[in-house]
């Protein structure tokens, strides 16, 4: 039996679109839509305006592959960044995570995914050629592979390392091991043995 619609087609459309957002199912989409409608002036109008600006101005940085409202992006154009270090990430979300942590004052290169032969994703589908080109023409001394510790991520890291081998660049990767605040008893065997192998002097 078909469910009754809760409101007119305009509101139904809003709910359907919200339900496509990550983490929102139909139920939470209805709640979000109702919240937006109730807070029309404080939330719905500014959100619609912000989305309009995003539609008009957001694009991909032709240098590093992140998303921003300018090209080159704010990070690539920032003169205070250390030009000698490039941090390679899979996705813009990873770049944002590193920037949130304010852990490094370097520039980035977004691969746009990982190598995955089973899904038909090869080197030409990722921003690898542009990474090699940047390393060749820019003053890069170190490439940090901040790539996820998944099988695909590590395969990608090995491939990128091979492709950069002919350049005189230090290639490093993030440490694998015990998370800050982590308890050994809760770690999986792979993480625990990696942490032991990568132990450092106290």
Q: Which residues are at the interface with Zn ion (CB under 5 A)? A: 61, 63-64, 72-73, 76
Nearest residue (CB) to Zn ion, 106 versus 160: 106
Q: Distances from the Cα of 94 to the Cαs of 65, 103, 147, in angstroms?
A: 12, 12, 9
**Diameter over CA atoms, the chain:** 67
CB of 151 vs Zn ion, minimal distance in Å: 28
CB of 111 vs Zn ion, minimal distance in Å: 13
CB of 67 vs Zn ion, minimal distance in Å: 9
Nearest residue (CB) to Zn ion, 69 versus 150: 69
CB of 93 vs Zn ion, minimal distance in Å: 15
CB of 71 vs Zn ion, minimal distance in Å: 8
Report the alpha-carbon distance of residue 27 to residue 180 in Å, rounded.
Answer: 35
Nearest residue (CB) to Zn ion, 61 versus 86: 61
Nearest residue (CB) to Zn ion, 61 versus 92: 61
Contacts for 88 with CB less than 8 Å, ≥ 6 apart: 108, 109, 111, 131, 143, 144, 145, 146, 147, 160
Nearest residue (CB) to Zn ion, 63 versus 156: 63
């Amino acid at each position: 039996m078909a469910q009754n619609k809760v409101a007119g087609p305009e509101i139904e459309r809003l709910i359907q679109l919200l339900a496509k957002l990550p983490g929102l199912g139909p139920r939470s989409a209805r709640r979000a839509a109702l919240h937006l409608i109730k807070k029309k002036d404080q939330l719905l109008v500014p959100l619609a305006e912000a989305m309009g600006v995003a539609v008009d101005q957001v694009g991909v940085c032709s240098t590093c592959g992140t998303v921003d409202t300018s090209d080159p992006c704010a990070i690539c154009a920032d003169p205070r960044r250390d030009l000698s270090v490039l941090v390679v990430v899979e996705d813009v979300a990873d770049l944002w995570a590193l920037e949130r942590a304010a852990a490094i004052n370097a520039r980035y290169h977004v691969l746009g995914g990982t190598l995955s032969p089973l899904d038909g994703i090869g080197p030409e589908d990722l921003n690898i050629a542009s990474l090699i080109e940047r390393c060749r023409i820019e003053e890069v001394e170190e490439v940090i592979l901040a790539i996820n510790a998944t099988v695909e991520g590590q395969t990608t890291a090995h491939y990128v390392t091979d492709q950069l081998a002919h350049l005189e660049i230090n290639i490093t990767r993030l440490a694998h091991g015990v998370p800050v605040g982590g308890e050994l008893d809760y770690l999986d065997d792979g993480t625990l043995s990696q942490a032991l192998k990568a132990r450092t002097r106290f």
